[in-house]
Structure 1
Amino acid sequence: MRPSDRDTIVAVATAPGEGAIGIIRLSGQEALEVAGGRFQGKQALKTLDDRSITYGRVTTRDQFLDEVLVSVMRGPRSYTGEDTVEFNCHGGPLILRRIIEVLIDSGARHAEPGEFTRRAFLNGKMDLTQAEAVVEMIGAKTDLGLESAYFKLRGGLKKRFEKMAESLRFSISMLEAVLDFSEDVEIDNKAISGPIAEAACELEELTRSYTQGKVIRDGAVVTLAGRPNAGKSSLLNRLLEEERAIVTATPGTTRDSIEETVDLSGAPVVLVDTAGLRKSGDPVEQEGTKRTRHAIDRSELVLYVVDASLDPMEEDVEQLKGLGGGKRILVKNKMDLGERPGWSDIDRCDQVAVSALTGDNIEELRNAIRESVLGKWEGNRGIITQERHVEALEKAKMSLSHAQEALAGNLPGEVVAFELRETLEFLAAIIGETTSDDVLDRIFKTFCIGK
């Protein structure tokens, strides 16, 4: 714990800008003294019952600043585990800033980003996966993101790690029994290898879940590409269910990329409408094509949109080949005008026939996009959304694999036990039992001030 972790800290806990209510949060050993010195009401804050609220005024030395409701939550029964005071003020930025200033003048310090949650972690109110879930809850883009974050906030992910750790400790205890009482104890290797194998499967499942977790947390970039006048902008508008892109009958209307985010049944997707792909001597069109290529390169999925009412062209074949081995869906647009033969054989990728004009099969396309970027969703058992977790899981998998190899090769029990302890160390780092201050600094700097 740093010396500054003992300071009394203060920050605005509500979102920036004007609002009906603004909340200022104080936490620390001197929170009641600092807040009480600037509060005038019927009852002094120090005498209030725990988890109670009272009305009064915030003052400077010579004037009233605001009428407020003040909540008192004494540690350890508070968010941070420390004495905490919250002022419910009028939500003007100037009022909040002035109150913060007088509280700092009375002995508080302005909180760093995420410092309240950092103290909750340090004081044992939550583990590190729960602390990270707080910022995921705030930044969730879809219901699946919210569900995933809430599962971790309730301790669901921590319980999975604890269950694994318990089974590995059992295996270690069995190995140590053999080492300590080798003449009196006989252990069947299956009793040791079984829990290790189960933990290996669990680690593999958690590691693979990051593919979904990253999409749920950050979203997936899906680029609409194709020749001019294929209906890309019309398709974008239909997927967004709003008129976002300009649509005309003139080929090449779209000259620059347009990005919009849409929620596809829990999968946050950034749709990128791009300029048409074609050879041109026009410098503006050349720049548009260059930007389209850039959008394709950074995409998790490309929707190659064609006008299926026209015969396939060699240019379409070339463009599809140019996409390489990345994920793609051939979107055969303008099905309301009929589909010309030859499109089904042009590429072996997934294909969906739609009409951006009438909306036919748009829901089928949405489902195809969701399945391509997210995969099959089988419910939330605690998916991995943090790169830090994946790195630790990969190291844990390697140590566990070494333990399995040592056990299979009849190496001394000390070798197997060492590798199992290494695995436990990596799991402990995820939930914060063995995490350095540098790592904590990196994690909590991603939080907003006041949380």
Structure 2
Amino acid sequence: MLHSEPIAALATAPGIGAIAVIRVSGDDAIAITNRFFRGKDLTQQPTHTAHFGTLRNPDDTIIDEVLATVFRAPRSFTKEDVVEISCHGSEFIVRQILQRLVAEGVRLARPGEFTQRAFLNGQFDLVQAEAVADLIASDSDASHRAALTQLRGGFSKQLIDLRQQLIDFVALVELELDFGEEDVEFAHRDQLRQLMLSIRRVLHPLIESFAAGNVIKNGVATVIVGKPNAGKSTLLNALLNEEKAIVSDIPGTTRDVIEDELFIDGIRFRLIDTAGLRSATDKIEAIGIERTQQKMRDAALVIYLFDAASISTDDLQAALTEVHESGKPYLLVGNKLDALDTARKQQLEAVADESIHWISAAQHTNLDALRAALSNRVRTDAAVQIGSAVVTNVRHHDHLTGTDNALARALDGLDSGVTPDWLAMDLRVALQHLGELTGQITTDDLLDSIFSKFCIGK
């Protein structure tokens, strides 16, 4: 696979811009580009060098002045010969250059084909290849760090090493099958047990990190709930610093779900304002309240907001019971601090018997402290370790879980003294999952499914 048909694609975002970059990779990529490049002879230039010149039509008219950067195999992203053409960011110029490349025998690249070639040529494993797409799509410090950790090897290099050790043991177990009548044991069971336990110790934190990884990748679904007129829409507007939701003294103003995003300390929070929790007075409000309850069930974090100036102690106790029953992580937030005296605060704190975050959404009082509390609530979750190896991909989670389940069955088999053929069967399942996870075992359908989600030029 080190030399294959040349492909080309626009590597920068489509549209008008200062510059555009067209990537060409594959067999004779440098020589093909050199056919209509006027400047230094690109075929004679060393790798990792950039050269100014012009690209020409067959009639020798100029398409554009460009900078051609040469990367020679295997010292390129794809491990093939690569030329990156930096031209002016005109859609017309880009089309002209791509048409000239096609006329010279280059094929337009499929989505993700450059990264797919890099994987197939051994530049990195499949987990790292998928991290390329995650890095491009990252929109927060947390998602960027998670993708970068995976791109640099993350957990996959460790799993590849452990898989190889497991392969060695499986080979010995299967060798025992050839001597079934002689009752020999080539694979020392105690050593095999220790290896499987070691692999599971690596797997368990990764599996448990998936909930946090999903939050990092997709944002923290944070639902603001409470009674009508508690100030939920005012709080949403204050946190976003814009008039996103309609604010009114009329109870039940918010009848549908309103969403927007807020970044705090590199973490993306998906803030969701909801209809007030109460008995509905009409069909439309009932639908809004049902959506509120559904959002609470789906939320990663709940902000329960109450009007501290008017809520009764019984209502506060009932609210706490409702939040506890949801089973969701939450922050209890008391609004309208400006209307409270010390005695009233102490009374409500005694009823709640837990930390209350006091704010005034209308006056923007203590909002910075609330933002910090939101960030800390996520970061102190045992699974969220920003910058450490976390699992953000469903495919990875499924294979890690499958590996762990197979190893658990194999350990149970050791305890019950199963025959080598049954033991080998579970070990092979574990090897299959690990191999598919890292890309050591692949199918065309799997690769097409993964890389088809990439952008064309990557």
Alignment TM class, shorter chain as reference: 0.7 to 0.9
8 Å CA contact 2:225–2:302 kept in 1: the answer is: yes
* 1:240–1:40 distance in 2 versus 1, CA, 3 Å: same
Distance 1:279 1:183, change over 3 A: closer
The C-alpha deviation readout for 1:86-129, integer Å capped at 9, x for no partner, is 11001122221222222222221211111100010011111101
What TM-score, normalized to structure 1? 0.87
Q: Is the 8 A contact 1:211 1:374 kept in 2?
A: no
CA distance in 2, matches of 1:184, 1:282: 77
Q: Which segment is superposed worse, 277-286 or 119-128?
A: 277-286
Aligned positions of 1:256-335 closer than 5 A: 256-279=256-279, 281=281, 285=285, 288-289=288-289, 291-312=291-312, 325-327=326-328, 328-335=330-337
Decide which moves more: 239-248 or 384-393: 239-248
Partner-residue secondary structure (3-state), 2:76:
coil
After superposition, what is the alpha-carbon deviation per residue over 1:150-195, rounded to whole angstroms, capped at 9, x for unaligned? 1111113222212432443465477578788988989864333222
Matched residue type, 2:208 = R
Pairing 1:354–2:354 present: no
TM-score, normalisation: structure 2: 0.86
Unaligned 5+ residue runs, structure 2? none
Q: Output the CA distance in 2 between the equivalents of 1:369 and 1:52.
A: 45
User: Within 5 Å, which residues of 2 pair with 1:208-219?
Assistant: 208-219=208-219
Structure-1 separation of matches of 2:45 and 2:186? 63
Q: Which residue of 395, 399, 421 corresponds with 2:402?
A: 395
Q: 1:404 to 1:83 in 2, by over 3 A?
A: same
Secondary structure of 2:331 counterpart? strand
Displaced runs of 4 or more, over 6 A? 176-188, 313-323, 345-350
Q: In structure 2, do the counterparts of structure 1 residues 207 and 322 end up closer, same or farther at CA, with 3 Å as the change threshold?
A: same
Counterpart code for 1:221: A
The equivalent residue for 1:92 is 90
- Identify if the C-alpha distance between structure 1 residues 381 and 366 changes in structure 2 by more than 3 Å, giving closer, same or farther: closer
Evaluate the alpha carbon distance shift between residue 365 and residue 135 of structure 1 in structure 2; reply closer, same or farther with a 3 A threshold: same
Q: Quote the RMSD (CA, aligned, Å).
A: 3.2
Cα deviation for residue 212 of structure 1 reads 0.9
1:279 and 1:371 map into 2 onto residues whose CA distance is 31
Cα distance change on mapping 1:59 and 1:390 into 2, 3 Å: same
Identity of aligned pairs, percent? 36
The one-letter code sitting in structure 2 at the alignment partner of 1:432 is: G
Moved more, 186-195 or 217-226: 186-195
Between the aligned partners of 1:372 and 1:350, the Cα distance in structure 2 is 16
- Paired residues for 1:145-294 under 5 Å: 145-169=143-167, 171-172=169-170, 189-279=189-279, 281=281, 285=285, 288-289=288-289, 291-294=291-294
Residues 191 and 177 (structure 1), Cα distance of their counterparts in 2 relative to 1, 3 Å cut: farther
Structure 1 range deviating more: 257-266 or 195-204: 257-266
The answer for the alignment partner of 1:45 in structure 2 is: 42
- Is there any run of 5+ residues in structure 1 with no aligned partner, and where? none
How far the C-alpha of 1:278 sits from its partner, in A, is: 4.2
Query: Aligned residue pairs: how many?
Result: 447
**1:447 to 2:448 alignment:** no
2: CA distance between counterparts of 1:330 and 1:228?
16
What does residue range 93-112 of structure 1 map to in structure 2 within 5 Å? 93-112=91-110
Change (3 A) 1:38 1:311: same
- Give the corresponding residue for 1:120: 118
2: CA distance, partners of 1:96 / 1:349: 62
Following TM superposition, by how much is the alpha carbon of 1:219 offset from its aligned partner in structure 2, in angstroms? 1.3
Instruction: Determine whether 1:421 maps to 2:422.
Output: no
